[in-house]
Amino acid sequence: MNIFINGVSYSVPPADSLNASVAHALRLFLSDDQQQTTFAVALNSEFVGRDFYSTTPIKQGDSIDVLFPIQGG
């Protein structure tokens, strides 16, 4: 299964595709350190709350946007 994270195509292995969730996809994209920081996630342009990452399924062709806060003024 192929999905897009911040516009880049990622392949989810077939064995993982059956139970793939937003949390699974984030493990493909984010480093361990990044997973501990603050960020927002949208699945197909719809916000997904952190509490729902593991229960929100993903499917072929889904698009996930991961947004990090920018500091500055």
The CATH number of residue 51's host domain is: 3.10.20.30
Q: Is residue 31 part of a domain?
A: yes
Do 53 and 22 meet the contact criterion of CB atoms below 8 Å apart? Answer: yes
Backbone angle region of 6, left / alpha / beta, with phi > 0 → left and psi within -120 to 50 → alpha: left
Host domain of residue 17: 2-67
Q: Tokens 């927002």 map to which residue?
A: 40
* 8 occurs within a structural domain: yes
Q: According to the model, what pLDDT value does residue 65 have?
A: 97
Per-block average pLDDT, block size 10, for the chain (73 residues)?
94 81 90 91 97 95 94 74
73 domain residue, yes or no:
no
Could you tell me the sign of the dihedral formed by the alpha carbons of 33, 24, 69, 61, in that order?
Answer: positive
In a domain, 12, yes or no: yes
Euclidean distance between CA atoms 64 and 42, whole angstroms: 6
pTM: 0.87
